[in-house]
Each structure stands twice: as structure tokens, then as C-alpha cells.
Copies of this chain bind each other. A is one copy, B any other.
């Protein structure tokens, strides 16, 4: 297998070559435990089967599959982490079953087709990293007809939230602009250079950074002011690379349950392990990254703050359209647009009823 293209390596793959980072993912037990259950409680799906683990990292999912009775597991990993995975597999007595292959799944060759593809490919807000592309390439290259994907389905959600984080970011933004004002004063006084002509450029840059970039957060369910809208569902067996590469455009409706100012939206995802239509799982596992009183997975949720806030009243609804587009400069990052307005009978709906469009970067 060929090494990843060099920019992509610099931007994306290099962190995965550290055990420290693999450990971070492994010790997210909601995550690792969900895969463990999905495999170990569905051994019938794995027993005697040929499995491909796309992006095996430490080798953990390949080991689960082998323990569940797979006849053969191909564990493909782009980075040098493959060497640690190989050692782990040997040390756990599974070298006869698991074959670790270093390379990208786009370029390696396998001696046979597989019954099951397992992969933990999800990024922030599901789509960041665009690693699902690689799983679909693997599916199209290597999965037998009737074979199944673990996970098999994914969903995206958006909900209105209350959050002090939004205020903090606004304060930080204002602090940064005050810093700039002092700075331009110093530059004039010390060096006779007037930098005022760049005020707007600096504001634009800082606004993007502080207000128009989504942030990781561990949102508590009590912060939700309304019901989450499930705005996108993927059937991983049938979605195409072209569909994934195209802009995601979806309508949403979030019913408001509590009155108050909406500080922003919280976005998150879940994935389901349902096997394939020909071979459904016996026990269906759900890995959810929804706001959870017991704490977030390592993905947390992504928050998109509103500026100014949106006033809503219980009984209203926030409706609109969300667009998720890959960045031209880096297809692993995204731009999100949320066009939204408040509908309902309340006075708030009347004043907040015009369409607002908010844009965010997912970095």
C-alpha cells in the first residue's frame, strides 16, 4: 500500500501514529464498549466469517472480531501504528487470525472478498475527517454481496440550546478586539504606523475564529430548549461516494419546549449496528453522542453559537435548512450553514420570524 498523500499526512494522519491518541479513543468506553457489545453480542455475524477492519489503529476492533470467531480478519491501518497493532495481535494470541496490513484501504490489495467490514470512522459532527469515504471505497472494493457493515447506519441531529459558552466566546471576541485597539495605538505611537485600515479585516478574522467556528462541548440535556431534529440518515450499505461528496442539504424542525433565549444549536450524531438486510444483527447496539447527564464521549457535541441570541416561547418551533459542505482547501473540514426562523403563535415568533442565516466552520 502507498503512504497517504503528504499534505493529508501532515494534516490528518500523523496524530493517529501516536499511542497517546489511540489510548484517548480506546478509553472512551461508551465508544469502545459499544463496538465491543456490537461484536460480542452478535457473534453469529462474525463466526467463521472474513472481516475487514478499516483503520485498525491499535488493532482493537480486529481483536474483537477475532474473539467473536472470525475465520480471518484483515486489519488495515495507514500509519505506523500498524506495527503496534501487529504486536498487540501477536501478544494476544491472534496472529493466526488477524493479519495487519500497513497502507491505506484505498490502495492495499486483499486476497479475498469479505463478509463484514468494521470501522470506527466517525469524526466530530459525524462527517469531519471524511473517513467514511474510505469505508465506502473499502465496501465497493471488498464487500461480498449481502455482506454487512459495522456500524450500518448513521444519523445527524440538531437541537436548540442554552449555553454560557456562547457568552464566553462573545466576551473573548470583544476582549480580542480591545486588544487590537490597544495594539494599533502602540503601533502608531511607537513606530508611526497606522494600522487602523486593517480593523475590519481583524474583526472578520476574529469573528470567524470566536463566533463562526463550532466548538467541542459536553452539553447537559437540561440545556436543551427543544426537541432535537434528526435531519440526516445514512444507510452505509447504499450511500455512494458521490452523495457524500455533494453538499448535504436538509430541512429541520425543532419544537420549542422551554421559553427563553436560544444561545445556539448543538449538533451530534449516533450510529447503529443493524447488520445488513440479509443478515441483521441479533442484538442491535446504538452508539450515541447525544447530550448525556453521565458525560460525553470523546466526540462531545459540536456547538454553533448564535449572535444575537434567538428569543423563543414554548410552543414555537425553529424551522429551517442546514447545509454541510466540505472545504475546498481541505476536504476533511467543513462549512455549515444554518438558515432558520421561528414559527408559532407567540409574540417572539412574530419578531424572530424572519429568516436568519448563520455560517460556521468545523475545524
A201 on the interface (CB 8 Å rule)? yes
Q: How far is the CA of A91 from the CA of B195 in the complex (A)?
A: 8
B18 engages A205 (CB within 8 Å): yes
Q: Contact flags (1/0) for A46-85 with B, using CB distance below 8 Å?
A: 0000000000001010011001000000000000000010
Interface pick from A22-30, A292-300, A302-310: A22-30
In the complex, the chain B residue whose C-beta lies closest to that of A32 is: B191
Residues of B within 8 A of A192 (CB): 67
Q: How many copies does the complex hold?
A: 2
B67 engages A27 (CB within 8 Å): no
Most buried by B among A19, A67, A87, A205: A19
Q: How far is the CA of A75 from the CA of B301 in the complex (A)?
A: 44
A92 on the interface (CB 8 Å rule)? yes
A19: contacting residue among B10, B84, B187, B201, CB under 8 A = B201
In the complex, the chain B residue whose C-beta lies closest to that of A91 is: B197
A92: contacting residue among B63, B67, B90, B193, CB under 8 A = B193
Q: Interface residue count for A (Cβ, 8 Å)? A: 45
B60 engages A193 (CB within 8 Å): yes
Residues of B within 8 A of A33 (CB): 190
A186 on the interface (CB 8 Å rule)? yes
A325 on the interface (CB 8 Å rule)? no
In the complex, the chain B residue whose C-beta lies closest to that of A87 is: B197
In the complex with contacts A84-B198, A190-B33, A209-B20 CB distance below 8 A: yes
A63: contacting residue among B193, B196, B197, B198, CB under 8 A = B193
Q: Contact flags (1/0) for A30-44 with B, using CB distance below 8 Å?
A: 001100100000000
**Interface of chain A residues 196 through 249 with chain B (CB within 8 A):** 196-198, 201-202, 205-206, 209
B88 engages A205 (CB within 8 Å): no
SS class, residues of chain A in contact with chain B:
helix
A84: contacting residue among B20, B60, B194, B201, CB under 8 A = B201
A180 engages B10 (CB within 8 Å): no
A91 engages B194 (CB within 8 Å): yes
Distance in angstroms from A27 CB to nearest chain B CB is 6
In the complex, the chain B residue whose C-beta lies closest to that of A203 is: B19
A7 on the interface (CB 8 Å rule)? yes
A164 on the interface (CB 8 Å rule)? no
B209 engages A88 (CB within 8 Å): no
In the complex, the chain B residue whose C-beta lies closest to that of A36 is: B191
Q: How far is the CA of A209 from the CA of B15 in the complex (A)?
A: 13
In the complex with contacts A190-B36, A191-B32, A193-B63, A198-B19 CB distance below 8 A: yes
Q: What are 24 inter-chain pairs, A to B, with CB distance below 8 A?
A: A6-B6, A6-B7, A7-B7, A7-B9, A7-B10, A19-B201, A19-B205, A20-B176, A20-B202, A23-B183, A23-B202, A27-B183, A27-B186, A32-B190, A64-B191, A67-B192, A84-B198, A87-B197, A87-B198, A87-B201, A88-B197, A91-B196, A91-B197, A92-B193
Q: Given A10-B11, A67-B192, A91-B197, list of 20 further CB < 8 A pairs?
A: A7-B9, A7-B10, A20-B206, A20-B209, A23-B180, A23-B202, A26-B187, A27-B186, A32-B190, A32-B191, A33-B190, A36-B190, A60-B193, A84-B198, A84-B201, A87-B197, A87-B201, A88-B193, A91-B194, A92-B194
